[in-house]
Amino acid sequence: MRSANEIQDHDALTHGPLPLKSNDNSTREKVPQNIYPVLASGTAESTQHFALAARATNDAIRDWDVTSGRLSWPQGLQTLLGHTPSIVSEDIGFWQRHVHPDDRARVGASIRVALKATQAWSGEYRFRRADGVYVHLLERAIILRDTHAKAVRFVGSLMDITARKHLQDQLCRSQGMEAFGQLANGVAHDFNNFLTTIMGYSDLLLDELAVKGRVAHHLTEIRSAAARASVLTAQLLAFGRKHPLVSSVLDVNELVGNLDRSLLRLLGEDISVECNLQRAKAGLHVKVDPGQLTQIILNLVVNAREAMPAGGQITLATARCWIDDKTPANGSLEFAPGEYVSISVADNGTGMSEEVKARLFEPFFTTKDGTRGSGLGLAISYGIVRQSGGEMRVESELGHGTKVTIYIPKVAPPPAPNYKRPSASEAPTGTETVLVLEDDVSVRHISIRVLQGLGYDVIEAANADDARRLLAEHGERKIHLLLTDIVMPQMNGRDFAKWLHQTRPDTKVVFISGYLDESMQADGLLNGDPFFLPKPFNPGQLAQKVRQALDAKS
């Protein structure tokens, strides 16, 4: 028996604020009777054909008696929606209760409009299966009316379009991420130009003025801040996939320690961060791409924050561990026994069910709503870790938080660095002619000043047209080296270098850029090519790269 509330819901859904009565002549005049299917001798046969068509697509069928509120399910209630047919399911209130609360009002209003004046209805909504999971349904229905044009039956075919919706949502998210990636690349490119200028003039001041005391300390702090900012731009470029991915040996304690400072600003005041780093005399070194590993840790930390909407604590920990066949952790993980470095991110948030953990690394799977998360973060992270010879392990329990541990093979520490920032007197010099092609005026001026200070004869050009004009003016003058930015308006640096090679094949080339277009990476610009100088760079790096290119054999 239906409750009073369900009867009220049925009446509202069926008739709305303006009930349709059989003796309502004004309403009936607005609804031409001959355009609607009516209950007649052929109705049963038409409905059977409708059901057969639905069976061919494996849809569910609901047949709603609009007058009495009785609901029948000729097919699909159990196979598609997981509900066992019962007395409860034979009332329209059953369908109403299982429609998602956020969709209920919209769908009800749409059906009320259709019942007044149309012969068909279609709409999309979310419906709760027997296992509690909401699926996206597309329902197409026919509305049968009596001889007075009053709606008496509503027969709908329900198609599961969950996979289609996920693909559509993923496409929208991907387009948004692509747009944001392009924005990040542009911002990083401009910032790298600024940082090149800051680093270059800071080094020149420290060298040329031989400053000491407080002034030297202030300049050193400016120089150090610029170097730290260059790490941030590298992360932006890694996000947009415009950063060359090169594995190198690094100490995970140093990487996590540097992240700790920025995480507090990222997470908010209601989240505390604790670092438990296992110290080792030789450090905890792994061979990975630093940008990739940084992004993985950031993804895990953001996921942990999302699991603690009311605040909590995130713990980052590192450790040195041995994995063998007898190690408990190795029972469910697929990687070779050996010595590993573990990096774990733990939270005291909501935790996950066994069903969610089982699908955690599936592409596009996400427990977040459509406005947050693409479902790709963990899948990509897992792939990166596996490519580095490692594994990821997830431990979680509902109500008791989550811990994600990354295992990466431990490697020997690199040789102690023997680097010293070259002073102007120590940097390699030369007397060759260098054509500097750079559209950013600050980067162009610092490059020219450094090269002229080292003894080179420099020709300055802001764009390709300007460079061509200058080359024509200099006639047969030998150009030993082209120093060119890759990304420029009109003609990019790579195309200009190709043009120059046709008339001056002996001219060496050094490419500089704040980021690389993917097509340039695909063409092998970076693969094995030593004459690329990424921005930001300092005067010493510029001097070394120019001399290296000039001294290389043709």
Structural domain ending residue among the three candidates 135, 160, 185:
160
447 plus 533 within the same structural domain: yes
pLDDT along the chain (554 residues), means of 10: 44 42 37 45 55 70 93 91 89 94 94 92 94 92 91 93 78 59 66 83 75 76 77 59 65 83 67 86 86 82 85 91 64 70 92 73 54 51 76 86 92 68 68 92 90 93 91 88 88 90 91 62 46 86 92 81
What's the N-to-C CA distance of the chain in angstroms? 92
Structural domain ending residue among the three candidates 93, 128, 160:
160
In a domain, residue 426? The reply is no
Calpha distance 265→229 (Å, rounded): 16
In a domain, residue 253? The reply is yes
- CATH of residue 369's domain is 3.30.565.10
For the chain, the domain total comes to 3
- CATH of residue 538's domain is 3.40.50.2300
In a domain, residue 171? The reply is no
438 plus 372 within the same structural domain: no
DSSP β-ladder status, 402-409 and 391-396: antiparallel
In a domain, residue 300? The reply is yes
What pLDDT was estimated at residue 207? 73
DSSP β-ladder status, 433-437 and 481-485: parallel
Half-sphere exposure of 106 (CA within 13 A, CB side): 10
Calpha distance 372→366 (Å, rounded): 9
In a domain, residue 120? The reply is yes
Q: Which two tokens stand for residue 354?
A: 């066994």
Calpha distance 526→150 (Å, rounded): 73
532 sits in which H/E element: strand 532-534
513 plus 380 within the same structural domain: no
408 plus 443 within the same structural domain: no
268 plus 407 within the same structural domain: yes
Q: What is the dihedral of CA 467, 469, 474, 478, to 10 degrees?
A: 30
Calpha distance 162→181 (Å, rounded): 28
Place of tokens 């409860």: 88
What pLDDT was estimated at residue 456? 95
Q: How far is CA 497 from CA 60, 105, 205, 469, 483, in A?
A: 64, 63, 33, 15, 10
Q: Which two tokens stand for residue 173?
A: 């998210």
484 plus 397 within the same structural domain: no
Is the CB of residue 340 less than 8 Å from the CB of residue 407?
Answer: yes
Calpha distance 217→226 (Å, rounded): 14
250 plus 388 within the same structural domain: yes
SS3 state of residue 468: helix
72 plus 20 within the same structural domain: yes
411 plus 439 within the same structural domain: no
Calpha distance 403→412 (Å, rounded): 27
Per-residue HEC secondary structure of 386-402 comes to HHCCCEEEEEECCCCCE
Q: Answer whether the bond into residue 536 is a cis peptide, omega within 30°.
A: yes
Calpha distance 96→416 (Å, rounded): 70
In a domain, residue 437? The reply is yes
Range of the domain at 10: 4-160
491 plus 401 within the same structural domain: no
In a domain, residue 521? The reply is yes
Closest by CA position to 316, among listed 291, 293, 288, 289:
293
- CATH of residue 98's domain is 3.30.450.20
What pLDDT was estimated at residue 416? 62
Question: What's the DSSP call for residue 415?
Answer: P
451 plus 395 within the same structural domain: no
What pLDDT was estimated at residue 440? 86
342 plus 370 within the same structural domain: yes
Structural domain ending residue among the three candidates 363, 387, 415:
415
In a domain, residue 421? The reply is no
What pLDDT was estimated at residue 205? 81
Angle at 192 between CA 186 and CA 193, to 5 degrees: 95
What pLDDT was estimated at residue 255? 86
